[in-house]
Amino acid sequence: MPAFDLSTRISGIRLDNPVILASGILDVSSGLLKKMADSGAGAVVTKSVGLRPRKGNPNPTVVAVHGGLLNSMGLCNPGISEFLKELGGLSGVKVPVIGSVYAGSPEEFAHVAKEMSASCVRAVELNVSCPNVGKGECFGEIIGKSPKLVARVVSKVKSAIKKPVIVKLTPNVSDIVEIALAAEKAGADAITAVNTFGPGMVINVDARRPVLGGLFGGMSGPAVKPLAVACVYKLHESVSIPIIGCGGVSTGKDVAEYMMAGASAVEVGTAVYYDGGRAFGRINRELASFMRRRGIKAVGEMVGCAHGK
């Protein structure tokens, strides 16, 4: 065993390290996914993919703000059939690939998840939490805000596929624990907490108009980290399935913080948007050095230790 054991497990899937590429950042092609995997990610999550191709929102779709990014991508993707061809080119990838899917109904979720799970992915992540969809569309966050709908989506998907099902939650609810418990009861194997916060808006004061083409966007990056860590902490007290923390991770210490709150791994988006794949090696080196300075031998020792149990 190496001096510092960074390995972790999510629903039976072993990761060499706990730092996972989050959905939506440098992950829309097999070339990019492989590059991120080779850069030292513990696992990679694909861009969220739906039944049909989708253009997403008009440009600009991303704007930098103090402490992070506001994005209104709007689930642009090539559709599951095209994406499966893309995943076919992903042979020899060294780390687990997690396929992210979204849909407009429990039945459609089951259909897209089944197609996704027939590929090389080791698990499926259900994006029931995208805030950037149009009025009247029943995608993403609209599902993730209802415990009943989340439960229906999870049980449909669980009866359609054999691979582990991870549910990615929205933080934009009054009680995230209620949603997570509904997902767990319906058979979810793990939770990702959380997607972006919002809605947020930036006004261009010279143009006197909102900057984002989609007007509103979801906030990510360092500014949301304390809010997302609080979600993980609350979830650890209530659910028994593994939690993947997500929101504002950019250093090894951030990973330790999430793990102490109760996460078994973390996903990283905005830091990769800025630093590319280099972020993974750096964050893991910082994590190892954090552990060395404190005499922590394995990342597992940290999981949930902030709860004082």
- Closer Cβ to ligand FMN, 123 or 296, answer by number: 123
- Which of residues 8, 119, 170, 220 is near ligand FMN by CB under 6 A? 220
Write the binding mask 97 to 116 for ligand FMN: x where contact by CB under 6 A, - elsewhere: ---x----------------
Peptide bond into 232 cis (omega under 30): no
- Which of residues 86, 270, 288, 302 is near ligand FMN by CB under 6 A? 270
Q: Is 130 part of the annotated catalytic residue set?
A: yes
Tell me how far apart the alpha carbons of residues 57 and 24 are, in angstroms, rounded to a whole number. Answer: 14
Pairing relation of β-strands 197-200 and 190-193?
A: unpaired
- Which of residues 269, 280, 288, 299 is near ligand FMN by CB under 6 A? 269
Q: How far is the CB of 194 from ligand FMN (least distance, A)?
A: 7
Q: Which of 76, 130, 138, 305 is catalytic?
A: 130
Write the binding mask 143 to 172 for ligand FMN: x where contact by CB under 6 A, - elsewhere: -------------------------x----
**CB-based burial label for 53 (10 Å; 0-12, 13-18, 19+):** middle
- Closer Cβ to ligand FMN, 167 or 239, answer by number: 167
Q: Which helix (H) or strand (E) holds 133?
A: none
Give the phi and the psi of residue 256 in degrees, each rounded to 5.
-60, -40
* 48: contact with ligand FMN by CB under 6 A: yes
- Closer Cβ to ligand FMN, 50 or 106, answer by number: 50
Q: How far is the CB of 208 from ligand FMN (least distance, A)?
A: 26
* 71: contact with ligand FMN by CB under 6 A: yes
**CB-based burial label for 258 (10 Å; 0-12, 13-18, 19+):** buried
Closest CA to 168 of 104, 98, 254, 119: 98
* 199: contact with ligand FMN by CB under 6 A: no
- Which of residues 51, 62, 201, 211 is near ligand FMN by CB under 6 A? 62
Tell me how far apart the alpha carbons of residues 177 and 175 are, in angstroms, rounded to a whole number. Answer: 5
Stretch that binds ligand FMN, among 9-17, 79-87, 243-251, 300-308 (CB under 6 A): 243-251
Helix axes 176-185, 225-238, angle to 10 degrees: 50
**CB-based burial label for 210 (10 Å; 0-12, 13-18, 19+):** middle
Pairing relation of β-strands 265-268 and 8-10?
A: unpaired
What are 132's strand-pairing partners? none
Write the binding mask 16 to 45 for ligand FMN: x where contact by CB under 6 A, - elsewhere: ------xxxx--------------------
Residues lying near ligand FMN in the complex (CB under 6 A) are found at 22-25, 47-48, 62, 69, 71, 73, 100, 127, 130, 168, 195-196, 220-221, 224, 246-249, 268-270, 273
Residues tagged active-site: 130
